[in-house]
Amino acid sequence: MAVRRLIVAFSLLCGLAGGVAASSAAERAIVLASTTSTQESGLLDYLLPVVRDKTGIEVTVIARRSDEVLDGARRGEADVVLLHARPQEEKFVAEGLAARRYDVMYNDFVLIGPKSDPAGVKGKDIVTALKAIEAKGAPFVTRGDRSGTHAAELALWIVAGIDISSAKGAWYRESGQGITAALDAARTANAYMLADRASWISFRDRGDLDIIVEGDKRLLNQYGVMLVNPEKFPNVKKDLGQTFINWLISPEGQAAIAGYRVHGQQVFFPNADKSGG
């Protein structure tokens, strides 16, 4: 009986210790809401284990399109948001839902298209390319999902002087899905499409598609990070969230971002602004 009581006591002690450990782990965890591009490019799978090793913080990711990321954050569903839709991010700060936005990194958008280039725009600037695609009615796939990439595309049509809502026809095809599905739709249709470079490099089944336009300064794709305002949402883990952000914009975090490669190519370029974004 004494042995049995000892075993029971030991089991209870182990259970208590396990519960404490689980509770402690939960206390060191945050929720990061981010865009599908950071997830599907593989960056977060690479970066978050490094974060855990360096800070002890376990990060759970909710990957959505940019508008859904911010809508969820407006309901207090995340501690930190990381995305690439600067006008929407600045509006989020202006609404008092985050105290500050930080630049983290950038890459660029590229215009993907058929190697045969039916619109004849290879090597042109993005505005000239979009004008030619619209004028010739060349097939074009849009994400059409209110993501950061979709918002960037719509802004570029405006810069090109084209009201895409009235100019679009059968040539302008809405995917309504994430970046990988949209790229697959462009491959199937042998169409043009705007994509972030990291997603394009990660996309393996390219068919007859290639980069047609790149390097235009209007194709810059800036990423920012924000702590959701804990004064609005008391459940936000302020200290852990800020620790995560501070590491991300630190020299160590920036070096980790710079070290990420897809098929041997650097796809994100750190540019944290210590004065805030």
| CA 34 vs CA 3, 71, 84, 221: distances in Å | 53, 12, 9, 15
List, for residues 145-156, the tens digit of each pLDDT value.
Answer: 888 899 999 999
- For the packed helices 126-136 and 148-159, what is the interaxial angle rounded to 10 degrees? 80
The confidence band for 167, taking pLDDT boundaries of 50, 70 and 90, is: very high
The confidence band for 24, taking pLDDT boundaries of 50, 70 and 90, is: low
**pLDDT higher than 80, residue 12:** no
The confidence band for 8, taking pLDDT boundaries of 50, 70 and 90, is: very low
List, for residues 69-97, the tens digit of each pLDDT value.
Answer: 999 999 999 999 999 989 899 999 999 99
Q: Provide the residue type at 87 as one letter.
A: P
* pLDDT confidence of residue 274: 56
- Number of Cβ within 10 Å of residue 237's Cβ equals 20
Q: How far apart are CA 271 and CA 277, in angstroms?
A: 11
* Average pLDDT of span 203-230: 94
Q: Cβ(109)–Cβ(159) under 8 Å? A: no
| CA 234 vs CA 32, 46, 228, 230, 252: distances in Å | 16, 30, 10, 5, 30
Based on its alpha-carbon atoms, the radius of gyration of the chain, rounded to whole angstroms, reads 22
